């Protein structure tokens, strides 16, 4: 195997194993920034040795053991807690010669701790997203920057500041307990879904979707579902992402232009992902019913997934589910979505009444989907001149080039009547 091939293989292994390695080392040193540096040292060692010596039979275990040795060296150099030092020394001395993991290695617990640290509320939302993609996704700074259309120095600074903030705040490397768990878990789920949404409907740039972000969020959601199997909202989020991701191939045409939900070819939907999503939703319902915001949104997505055509969609149930969602997580965006469902179930005039109330409230003044929805309802009512103005306003508010073109095309269609 040539050096280039070896490096590609090592990169692929690192993507799979890096989060677990960082998590194990963070348990030892109690600092995720230092843990990542030590894990990176292990990666450098692999890049130096493996091309000449060959890929080990258990590369993840080799990297983990190497990183743990680096961590022990670091602890010795810094003379941290002599008792802990001695315990870790005995642990490392007992390390099997083939670099296999000890049978009781608590990888899952460590990984869950890392999830909660990366998504800690002491960090800004932007910092949580960047750190999660870095530590749990194994993405490089350049890849994160490309995904969010930011400069590499900006993302690098964001990650460095996040690590410093965690260290300065003394954030413990542990899974929260009791009442704190619910709030902290909500933060974790929000971060994962934010990553997914940025991939599913890019807020800016030239592409309608960024599939790599959707895939990364789905991977994180599936991992979290394994680590926290008794949390209904974890399964609710996973179900929601699986079902929404199933539409990916049908959401754009050959030129990359967006295709709206009701116009999509449902034969192109991925029925394997739909089945996975419905199974996750069933688990969420068994654990906690439809009482969480992600479980309710997943149930809405399931209504679309179960309908063979747009005309067969149970819009009455969707409207009721949005009503339930508004009770536990009220927001003008939820109300806007409810307006769409009501319009489909009871006619555009009923939906327009809700939209006009939102317009009067002013809370979505700069949200491009408000005039977009209003333009759609006005079109269905035959009020084309007003609809054209709404689509043009929506186009002026969006930062996504593909979406802007779609909205301007709809405005032009209104002008033709």
Query: How many other CB atoms sit within 10 Å of the CB of residue 119?
Result: 24
Q: What does the alpha-carbon distance between residue 106 and residue 26 come to, in Å, rounded to a whole number? A: 12
In DSSP terms, 205 is beta-bridged to 400
Q: What does the alpha-carbon distance between residue 184 and residue 196 come to, in Å, rounded to a whole number? A: 19
Average pLDDT (378-392) is 97
Q: What does the alpha-carbon distance between residue 277 and residue 281 come to, in Å, rounded to a whole number? A: 6
pLDDT one-digit tens code per residue, 17-36: 999 999 999 999 999 999 99
Report pTM.
Answer: 0.84
State the DSSP H helix or E strand holding residue 315, giving kind and residue range, or none if neither. helix 315-328
Q: Please give the CATH architecture assigned to the domain spanning 318-417.
A: Alpha Horseshoe (1.25)
pLDDT one-digit tens code per residue, 62-119: 999 999 999 999 988 886 555 555 555 555 554 443 334 443 444 578 899 999 999 9
In DSSP terms, 204 is beta-bridged to 399
Return the structure tokens found at 162. Answer: 């996040």
Q: Are 319 and 342 in contact (CB under 8 A)?
A: yes
Within 13 A of 168's CA, how many CA atoms are on the CB side? 8
Domain ranges of the chain: 3-104, 191-313, 318-417
Q: Kindly give the interhelix angle for 315-328 and 293-306, rounded to the nearest 10 degrees.
A: 170
pLDDT one-digit tens code per residue, 233-292: 999 999 999 999 999 999 988 888 889 999 999 999 999 999 999 999 999 999 988 889
Average pLDDT (141-160) is 90
Q: Kindly give the interhelix angle for 3-29 and 107-118, rounded to the nearest 10 degrees.
A: 80
Q: Are 175 and 109 in contact (CB under 8 A)?
A: yes
């Amino acid at each position: 195997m040539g050096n280039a091939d070896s490096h590609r293989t090592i990169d692929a292994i690192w993507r799979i194993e890096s989060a677990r390695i960082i998590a194990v080392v963070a348990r030892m040193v109690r600092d995720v920034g230092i843990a990542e540096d030590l894990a990176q040292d292990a990666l450098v060692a692999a890049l130096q040795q493996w091309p000449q010596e060959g890929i080990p039979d258990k590369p993840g275990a080799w990297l983990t053991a190497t990183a743990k040795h680096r961590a022990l060296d670091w602890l010795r150099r810094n003379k941290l807690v002599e008792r802990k030092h001695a315990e870790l020394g005995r642990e490392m001395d007992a390390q099997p010669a083939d670099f296999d993991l000890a049978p009781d290695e608590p990888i899952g617990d460590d990984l869950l701790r890392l999830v909660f640290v990366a998504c800690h509320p002491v960090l800004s939302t932007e910092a949580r997203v960047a750190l999660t993609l870095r530590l749990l996704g194994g993405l490089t700074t350049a890849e994160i920057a490309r995904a969010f259309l930011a400069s590499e120095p900006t993302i690098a600074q964001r990650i460095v500041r996040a690590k410093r903030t965690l260290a300065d705040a003394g954030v413990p490397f542990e899974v929260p307990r009791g009442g704190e768990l619910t709030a902290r878990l909500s933060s974790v789920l929000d971060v994962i879904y934010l990553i997914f949404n940025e991939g599913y409907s890019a807020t800016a740039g030239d592409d309608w979707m960024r599939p790599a972000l959707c895939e990364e969020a789905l991977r994180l959601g599936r991992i979290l579902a394994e680590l926290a199997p008794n949390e209904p909202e974890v399964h609710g989020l996973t179900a929601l992402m699986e079902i929404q991701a199933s539409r990916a191939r049908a959401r754009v045409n050959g030129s990359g232009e967006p295709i709206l939900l009701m116009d999509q070819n449902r034969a192109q939907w991925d029925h394997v992902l739909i089945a996975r999503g419905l199974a996750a939703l069933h688990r969420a319902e068994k654990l906690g019913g439809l009482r969480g915001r992600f479980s309710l949104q997943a149930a809405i997505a399931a209504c679309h997934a179960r309908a063979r055509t747009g005309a067969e969609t149970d819009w009455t149930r969707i409207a009721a589910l949005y009503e339930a969602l508004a009770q536990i997580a009220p927001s003008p965006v939820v109300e806007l979505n409810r307006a769409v469902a009501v319009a489909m179930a009871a006619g555009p005039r009923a939906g327009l009444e809700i939209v006009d109330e939102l317009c009067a409230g002013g809370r979505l003044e700069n949200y491009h989907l408000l005039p977009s929805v209003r333009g759609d309802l006005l079109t269905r009512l035959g009020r084309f001149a007003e609809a054209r103005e709404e689509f043009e306003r929506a186009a002026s508010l969006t930062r996504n080039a593909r979406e802007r073109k779609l909205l301007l095309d709809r405005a032009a269609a209104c002008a033709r009547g």
